């Protein structure tokens, strides 16, 4: 893992380590190489004297190489080569090579020549008998020589950069393939599970029709509820009319479950088809009503459900009976989730009151609804 971090991490510490390792290694290599193959003016020096001279010269000659390498790696390659702007890339490389050669020649004929001359003046016996060379030839040879070394190291750095880029792209492609495979498998599972569930419900329904017609009808209602929850609730908003139809299915199921033991009063007006609401927002409150309002502790369990609409405003009032001295009614996770959803989806547009009286619980929910043409989906 540490090796991969050293090679590919974008952390500034690892990047600094990579670059320092690369350039220090190259610097030591050039010092060692040019000490074995000295220029004619240094041939009379001993190996260790040449090492001493090349420690300074190699440092100065590294500057043009640094200029070329980083210009290629951080300008030409990412901005021109990778976007496939090849003509501009060729022109840019040609310009960089010309500038690099010029910088190398400038360093060679000024800084390096000065320090070399100063060193040899301190060792008069080492001065070789060299015939003076015209300045134009010196300039050209220094340009070519410096450019050759800079191209070597700059090209190596650019090659490493491109190899890293293509390796990372390959790894990204492999990762995308894996994620795609996982997503496809998840999608297939998501399709398979509801399909299996509905087939099973249909099989149970067909067997229950003759022997238990009430149970068969309850299965149909349950199947309708599940279809709505699985397929219609993916949208951030659904028509209020559709949501109330689902709630009516749930209420009918509960009424069949309790029969005449439970008194249920429902008052729901006609609904504007353009009114929208977050899916499954009201269900936990209705579910809570049946959970506590149909308690065995009540002699005459009852539930009252009232819905009123005033333009875009909705007022839901739920009342259910409460056994004397019963514990405080808790909505559990479902009610807490609804409270969080209300705060996120309807900030400053709702009012929720849950009141526990001596013989009843009351839920008052006032909500400012969206209309189909105006709401902006909020993915919660």
Residue 42's φ and ψ, nearest 5 degrees, are -110, 10
Q: Are residues 175 and 271 in the same domain?
A: no
**Residue 305 in domain:** yes
Q: Are residues 177 and 296 in the same domain?
A: no
The pLDDT of residue 367 is above 70: yes
Q: Are residues 40 and 141 in the same domain?
A: yes
Q: Which domain holds residue 29?
A: 2-181
Q: Are residues 57 and 158 in the same domain?
A: yes
pLDDT band at 304 (very low <50, low <70, confident <90, very high): very high
**Of the residues 181, 213, 242, which one is the last residue of a structural domain?**
181
Query: Among 38-52, 92-106, 227-241, 308-322, whose mean pLDDT is lowest?
Result: 38-52
* 190 neighbors 169 (Cβ within 8 angstroms): no
**Residue 114 in domain:** yes
pLDDT in tens, 82-132: 888 889 989 998 888 888 888 888 888 887 777 766 666 555 555 555 556
**Residue 233 in domain:** no
CA angle 21, 23, 27 (to 5 degrees): 115
**Residue 190 in domain:** no
Q: Copy the structure tokens of residue 202.
A: 């249909």
* 30 neighbors 58 (Cβ within 8 angstroms): yes
| Nearest alpha carbon to residue 277 among 346, 362, 353 | 346
Q: Are residues 170 and 308 in the same domain?
A: no
**Of the residues 117, 149, 181, which one is the last residue of a structural domain?**
181
Q: Which residue has the higher pLDDT, 323 or 155?
A: 155
Cα–Cα distance between 117 and 125 in angstroms, integer?
13
Q: Are residues 272 and 167 in the same domain?
A: no
| Nearest alpha carbon to residue 158 among 87, 60, 71 | 71
Q: Are residues 175 and 37 in the same domain?
A: yes
Cα–Cα distance between 361 and 297 in angstroms, integer?
15
Q: Are residues 157 and 32 in the same domain?
A: yes
**Residue 29 in domain:** yes
- Say how far residue 372 (Cα) sits from the centre of its chain: 31
The CATH number for 329's domain is 3.30.565.10
**Residue 243 in domain:** no
Q: What is the mean pLDDT of residues 48-76?
A: 83
Number of folded domains that form the chain = 2
Q: Are residues 11 and 153 in the same domain?
A: yes
Reported pTM: 0.47
**Residue 148 in domain:** yes
Rounded mean pLDDT of the chain?
Answer: 78
pLDDT score recorded for residue 183: 62
**Of the residues 150, 181, 212, which one is the last residue of a structural domain?**
181
pLDDT in tens, 232-243: 777 788 999 999
**Residue 206 in domain:** no
């Amino acid at each position: 893992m540490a090796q991969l971090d050293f090679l590919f991490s974008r952390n500034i510490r690892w990047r600094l380590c990579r670059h320092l390792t690369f350039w220090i290694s190259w610097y030591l290599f050039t010092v060692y190489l040019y000490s074995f193959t000295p220029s004619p003016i240094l041939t009379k020096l001993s190996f260790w004297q040449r090492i001493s001279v090349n420690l300074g010269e190699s440092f100065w000659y590294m500057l043009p190489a640094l200029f070329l390498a980083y210009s290629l790696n951080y300008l030409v390659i990412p901005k021109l080569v990778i976007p496939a702007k090849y003509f501009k890339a060729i022109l840019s490389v040609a310009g960089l090579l010309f500038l690099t050669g010029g910088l190398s020649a400038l360093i060679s004929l000024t800084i390096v020549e000065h320090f070399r001359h100063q060193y040899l003046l301190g060792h008069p016996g080492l001065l070789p008998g060299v015939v003076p060379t015209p300045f134009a030839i010196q300039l050209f040879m220094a340009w070519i020589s410096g450019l050759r070394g800079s191209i070597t190291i700059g090209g190596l750095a650019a090659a490493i950069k491109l190899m890293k880029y293509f390796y990372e792209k390959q790894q990204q492609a492999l990762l995308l393939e894996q994620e795609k495979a996982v997503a496809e498998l998840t999608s297939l599972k998501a399709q398979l599970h509801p399909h299996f569930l509905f087939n099973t419900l249909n099989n149970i329904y067909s067997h229950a029709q003759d022997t238990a017609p009430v149970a068969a009808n309850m299965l149909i209602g349950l199947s309708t509820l599940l279809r709505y929850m699985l397929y219609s609730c993916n949208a951030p908003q659904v028509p209020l009319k559709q949501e109330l139809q689902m709630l009516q299915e749930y209420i009918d199921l509960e009424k069949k479950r309790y029969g005449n033991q439970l008194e249920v009063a429902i008052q729901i007006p006609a609904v504007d088809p353009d009114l929208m609401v977050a899916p499954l927002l009201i269900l936990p409150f209705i579910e809570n009503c049946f959970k506590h309002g149909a308690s065995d502790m009540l002699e005459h369990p009852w539930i009252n459900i009232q819905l009123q609409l005033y333009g875009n405003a909705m007022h839901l009032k739920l009342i259910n009976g409460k056994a004397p001295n019963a514990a405080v009614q808790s909505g559990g996770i479902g009610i807490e989730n609804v409270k969080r959803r209300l705060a996120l989806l309807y900030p400053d547009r709702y009012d929720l009151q849950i009141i526990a009286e001596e013989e009843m619980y009351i839920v008052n929910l006032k909500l400012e609804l969206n209309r189909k043409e105006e709401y902006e989906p909020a993915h919660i």
